[in-house]
Structure formats: C-alpha cells, structure tokens
Amino acid sequence: MQVAIHRTAVIDQQAHVPESADIGPYAVIEGPVRFGERVKVYAHAYVCGWTEIGDDCEIHPHTVIGHVPQDFHFTGERSYCRIGSGTILREGVSVHCGSQPESETRIGANCFLMGNSHVAHNSILGNHVKMMNGALLAGHVEVGDHAILSGNLAVHQFARIGGYAMVSGVNRISSDVLPYMTVGNQGFCVGYNSIGLRRSGQFTKAEIDEVRRAYRTIYRTNDSFSKAMETLRGQVQERTGKEILAFYDARGKRSIIKGPDRKSTPLADSDAAG
C-alpha cells in the first residue's frame, strides 16, 4: 500500500508517516513529527517540530501545529506538541509547542477546534473539548474534559476552565471557571450547565442536583468564596461536588470567576490566590 501523499506535499525524512496517512497538496511536515494511523492532512497545512498526532485526526487547510511559541523566553530547545486521537483541527487553527525545554502543549482525544482558534504554549486540554471559531487560549491555560468554549473568547494565561463548563462567546476570561458552571456574556458565572450535564448521559440525577446546590451555595449567597466553599464541604456527597471542591483547592495564579451579584465585591480574603 502506498502512502497517499500528494506530489506537491513536502515530508521531512525525519517524520514518521504511516501508510494509512493522507497528505494533501502543498502540506508541509517538517522535523521529527510522528503521525498515528489514518491521519488526514489537508492542503496547505503545516506540522512541525517534536509533534505527535494521534490516530484518526484531521488537520484542515492552513493549520499550524507544533510551531515555536509566541514567547520571548523561548530558547529553541526541544519541547513538544501532542494531539490526542480523533481530534479535528479546522481551518487556520494554531497550536504551539511548549516554551520551556522538554515541556509540552497537549490536546486530548476527540476534541474539536473550529476555524482560527488558538492554543498557546504549555496549555493543556482534556478530552472532548470544543473550541468554537476564534476562541483563543493564552499560555499555560488548562481546560477540563467536555468543556465548551464559544466563539471569539479570549482566556488569560494560567487560567483554568473546569470540566463540562460552558463559556459563552465574545468574552474575556481572566479567572478560573469552576467545573460544570456556565459563564455568560459579561464574563460572570450565571448558572450551571444543566443541559450539557443531562445530555451527556454521564451523570445521575443526584450528581446533577449536587451541582445545582453547589452553584446556589457559591453564587447565590452573600458569603465570601472561602466561606461558601467551607459550607459546601459539609454538604457534598457526590463526585460532582467533590470535583468542584478539588478544583477550588488546586487554584493557583488566578482567582475564581465571580457571579453577577459579586461584581463589585473584591476577593479580599484567601479567594485571590497569587
């Protein structure tokens, strides 16, 4: 079986490209790139560096995968870009490698990155993440499984977005978004992702109810975040509530995103980490 490589494509001798790959016109595969099985690369895509692409991925026209990060501290030493199996990268997507030696940028399995979305250096995406057109992640951003990032969204460096969270478009996110929560157009938490949780089929009614109670405890009282979380600790019984607490406890450089009723309330006590 012959490798399906268009005669105008350029494939580096260092690259590992299985026979099941399909490489389109004018695509460039440069450096020690490693493809899994049945990877399809469309015309004019560019994949380079120490990049690993999982099985059954699709790389659409004018994508740039594994290129050097937009970081003045990058020294040119080896770092990685890793894309999980079944992930689709649509037109104009860019994903850069890590900016520190031997570090990585990682996108999980079965993710869907729509046109002109960007994943900067050292960002980590879980599985089944969806990024809509023009969504932008700065460096060191973390996104949990099944999160949905809507169009023209900009996420600040080191921010975290929890699993199954949904963030609306044309937003600026500079704080951590708790798992299962919904962020509205003004950048505040406005509810929990009830529809997404029900449609997923992965949660019991008790687990979804616990998310609803957690949202009310955190965002519908006048308590500080730290006090609300201590109240929550005495209430949680399901994995969903425990995951919200674990996410909060692991906070680092960013604060937790506020609700609309807290927009004038500073994070004065231990809520502003870093």
pLDDT tens readout for residues 190-232: 999 999 999 999 999 999 999 999 999 999 988 888 899 999 9
Q: Tell me, what's the pLDDT at 201? A: 95
Q: Which residue has the higher pLDDT, 30 or 254?
A: 30
Q: Please, what is the Cα angle at 13 between 87 and 50, to 5 degrees?
A: 45
Residue 130's pLDDT band, with cuts at 50, 70 and 90, is very high
Q: What pLDDT score was predicted for residue 3?
A: 55
Range of the domain at 23: 4-140
* Domain-located, residue 183: no
What is the reported pLDDT for 273? 28
- As a whole number of angstroms, the distance between CA 213 and CA 141 comes to 27
Residue 159 covered by a domain: no
- Please report whether residue 189 resides in a domain: no
Give the separation between CA 273 and CA 250, rounded to whole angstroms. 10
Residue 64, domain member (yes or no): yes
How many CB atoms sit inside 10 A of residue 237's CB?
10
CATH of residue 40: 2.160.10.10
In a domain, 75, yes or no: yes
In a domain, 79, yes or no: yes
Is residue 209 situated within a structural domain?
A: no
Number of domains in the chain: 1
Q: Give the range among 141-155, 182-196, 255-269 with minimum mean pLDDT.
A: 255-269
- Give pLDDT tens digits for 43-93: 999 999 999 999 999 999 999 999 999 999 999 999 999 999 999 999 999
pLDDT in the model for residue 2: 52
Nearest partner of 126 among 102, 110, 104, 150, judged by Cα: 110
Average pLDDT over residues 141-159: 97
Residue whose C-alpha is closest to residue 87's, from 133, 137, 122, 52: 52
Domain for residue 37, yes or no? yes
| pTM for this model (two decimals) | 0.92
The phi, psi pair for 92, rounded to 5°, reads 75, 5
Please give the Cα distance from 82 to 106 (Å, whole number).
5
Provide the pLDDT for residue 262. Answer: 54
Q: How far apart are CA 104 and CA 51, in angstroms?
A: 9
